Structure 1
Amino acid sequence: MKLLEYTIQINATPEKVWEVLFTQDNYKKWASAMNEGTYFEGTWEEGTIMKFLDPKNNGMYNLVEKNIPNKQLSMKHLGWILEGELSPQDWEDSTLDYILEPNENGTLLIGKVNSLDEFVDFFNSKYPKNFENIKNLAEE
């Protein structure tokens, strides 16, 4: 496991950044850096399962562990979705946190990923572009 951290300063309120992160229309726009056509299914409520899917009904699913609106959302990675079917994985403590810290210039967005070694290159190649997309959408 390796703890990865990504940060970006965004000239927008935490409420605006939160909206960009977790509404379907905006998510589709910023998450396109990972996979074109990516979308989510779920409600973001603590204790619920969120599915992140591509147009072919493949992706991954996570457990929402913490949701403090406009401040923090934490998820645990649980497994793959293959042709719509859940495929649980033993990914130990693989987690993802989005933390929003208000400051005099808007919001500092911090992403923390506790990643399995095999996914480090994926996150390092995709998340900086994701964060640029989030910044651009929030500052529009």
Structure 2
Amino acid sequence: MERMQFKTDIRANVAKVYQTMLEKEGYKQWTSVFNPTSEYEGSWNKGEKIYFVGTSNEGKKEGMVGLIKEHIPKEYVSIEYIAMMDDGKEVNKGPRAHDWIGGYENYTFSGNNRQSTVTVDVDVNEKMIDWFQINYPKALEKLKEICESNR
């Protein structure tokens, strides 16, 4: 896996950006860049599982299963990937699961009452680097648009 970093500055306070990024409706909007049916199930609470899911082209429920390793509200969220979702079932064996299990995705929030910076550090398997380089900046741009249009 390779650690990649993506960052964006947003003209909105940290609380607004944090809430928009993690609450269900905002999450669906900014992650629609990855999959138009993207959503999450579960909790952002430390120690709990969270399921990042969407519907595949074949109509199957697929995605990633994470464990919230750390959550400091409005500052930092750390997710460790522990399994994949395949047709609605958790899978933690096989080559596809092996490519992601043990990887992390971390969100860091900083700023003040007028300007925020979101930094995402994510572990990516080598086959997906180009896809992430194209799509993660688009997703963060969408987050920026949502936050700045709802000020």
Q: TM-score range by the shorter chain?
A: over 0.9
Q: Where do residues 74-113 of structure 1 align in structure 2 (5 Å cutoff)?
A: 74-88=78-92, 89-90=97-98, 91=100, 93-103=102-112, 105-113=114-122
Deviations 1:23-43 (A, max 9, x none): 111111110000001110011
Q: TM-score, normalised by structure 1?
A: 0.93
Q: Number of residues paired by the alignment?
A: 140
Is the contact made by 2:77 and 2:108 (CA closer than 8 Å) also made in structure 1? yes
Aligned equivalent of 2:67:
63
**What CA distance in whole angstroms lies between the structure 2 residues aligned with 1:95 and 1:87?**
17
User: By how many angstroms is 1:126 displaced?
Assistant: 1.4
Q: State, as a whole percentage, how many aligned pairs show the same letter.
A: 25
In 2, the alpha carbon distance for the partners of 1:11 and 1:112 equals 21
Q: Map residues 1-140 of structure 1 onto 2, 5 A cutoff.
A: 1-55=1-55, 56-88=60-92, 89-90=97-98, 91=100, 93-103=102-112, 105-140=114-149
Single out whichever of 66-75 and 81-90 deviates more from structure 2: 81-90
Q: Which runs of 4+ in 1 moved over 2 A?
A: 89-93
Could you tell me how far apart the structure 1 residues matched to 2:114 and 2:126 are? Answer: 34
Question: Cα distance, 1:104 vs. partner?
Answer: 7.5
Shift of 1:92: 5.6
2:113 and 2:74 map into 1 onto residues whose CA distance is: 16
CA distance in structure 2 between the aligned counterparts of 1:92 and 1:52, rounded to whole angstroms: 14
Q: 2:78 is paired with a residue of what secondary structure?
A: strand
Give the partner amino acid of 1:117. Answer: E
Secondary structure of the residue that 1:58 maps to in structure 2? strand
Deviates more, 1:50-59 or 1:35-44: 50-59
Unaligned runs of 5+ in 2: none
